[in-house]
Amino acid sequence: MKNKWSWRVLVVGLVLMGVVAGCSDASVPVDDRALMEATNAVASVNSGVESLTSDGVVLDGTRALFSLGWQERFHPGAQTNTLVGNAMAVGIGERDTNLRPILRSSIDLGTVTLAYAGNSVELRKHASPKGRVVYTLRSRPRDEASILLDFVPNTVYEFSASGSADFSAAKISVTTPAALLGITSHTHEQVIGASDELTLVWSGGKQNQGVAIVLGPARGQKSGDEMGIRGPRGGGGQGGGDARRGPHGPGNLGAGVGELEMAKHVIIKLETNPGTYTIPSATLQEVVSQSTNGWVVCGVTQIDGTTADHDGGKIQAILRDGARVLLKAE
């Protein structure tokens, strides 16, 4: 059975799985840089949490949320892809779903690490002047070369939090699929018929989980920049930023080129992972009519997660996966 969500804001990816929009300046004093990083990280994680709740993650009773995902970046100039892993964590304090950001406060989780396949990486802890604490894989968006998070298929990725006065020590894990989602029917910048049906074919992902098909106008110029195209925000709080809402959370489109236009998406939710779906021509034409020169983004995303009882509530670990392709409708 399929449910179609008409035009609404896509909070994609995941995350996880991207962080902070902007890079540090070596001329800025160390304390100011740390404050800037913390402020950006809090905004990024808040955005990621909003994304996950929009995609159906329920925070009621949740004491902490951990998120993991991978983001494939397409570089139009070089015509190459780079796969980047991201992760984030946040202790859930006060929240108000009628406000943005929905998290009004967050809890210190102590030291947070992510272990997998014999590897272990410590997430960076950020504390804002307002007392909010969040955790991201990197301090800045382009630290990817020095801090790696590999994708290992069919592998347990375990988050550990050492705990604090407000949160006892905890562990929770998620297991990766045999392969990440990948679109096989189209390549980046491929020309499609603007008045035709659009049949999307993909591979990978977990077969026992549903997926969501996403179609929307591409925002920004097509060339001269890089484009993050794997999955929604579930992965890790570090990647591109969004000009309207602030930095993205884990695993979603990078800023600028090829990014989905906010509030102009079609999202079609499927209860299974069939590997193919045909978007009706009328739907494609409606999206194309709102695009710039016919550039659209189409993709498939999937969310998987686990929960565990903790401190009178629960903790959650979310794995978001997805793949997208930039197309030219003529």
Q: pLDDT tens across 146-160, in order?
A: 577 899 999 999 999
Angle, CA of 116, 231 and 74, to the nearest 5°: 100
Q: What is the pLDDT of residue 169?
A: 97
Q: Which residue has the higher pLDDT, 266 or 159?
A: 159
The one-letter amino acid at 220: G
- DSSP letter for 27, please: T
CB atoms inside a 10 Å sphere around CB 18 = 36
Q: Reply yes or no on whether the pLDDT at 9 is more than 50.
A: no
What's the pLDDT tens digit per position in 113-135?
999 999 999 999 988 877 789 99
Exposed / middle / buried, residue 164 (Cβ in 10 Å: 0-12, 13-18, 19+): middle
* CB-CB contact of 64 with 109 (8 Å): yes
Q: Which residue has the higher pLDDT, 199 or 95?
A: 199
Q: DSSP characters for 41-97?
A: HHHHHHHHHHHHHHTT---TTEEEEEEEEEEEEEETTTTEEEEEEEEEEEEE-SB-T
Q: What is the pLDDT of residue 146?
A: 55
Q: What is the pLDDT of residue 56?
A: 77
How sure is the predictor about 77, in pLDDT bands with cuts at 50, 70 and 90?
Answer: low
Give Cβ neighbours of residue 139 (< 8 Å, ≥ 6 apart): 37, 41, 124, 126
213-222, 247-256, 295-304: range with lowest mean pLDDT: 247-256
How sure is the predictor about 58, in pLDDT bands with cuts at 50, 70 and 90?
Answer: confident
E strand segments, 220-284 = 227-228, 241-242, 246-247, 259-260, 265-270, 276-279
Whose tokens are 């808040």? That residue is 46
| Length of the chain in terms of residues written | 330
Cα 199 to Cα 274: distance, rounded to the nearest angstrom: 12
Domain boundaries along the sequence of the chain? 2-329
Candidate ranges 36-50, 235-249, 262-276, 279-293; pick with highest mean pLDDT: 279-293
Cα 325 to Cα 182: distance, rounded to the nearest angstrom: 10
**Section 229-234 average pLDDT:** 34
Q: Reply yes or no on whether the pLDDT at 238 is more than 60.
A: no
89: closest CA among 71, 113, 60? 113
* CB-CB contact of 12 with 233 (8 Å): yes
Candidate ranges 136-145, 256-265, 315-324; pick with highest mean pLDDT: 315-324
Q: Reply yes or no on whether the pLDDT at 187 is more than 80.
A: yes
304: closest CA among 6, 15, 60, 72? 15
E strand segments, 223-312 = 227-228, 241-242, 246-247, 259-260, 265-270, 276-279, 295-310
Exposed / middle / buried, residue 112 (Cβ in 10 Å: 0-12, 13-18, 19+): buried
Give Cβ neighbours of residue 53 (< 8 Å, ≥ 6 apart): 59, 97, 102
33-37, 187-191, 223-227: range with lowest mean pLDDT: 223-227
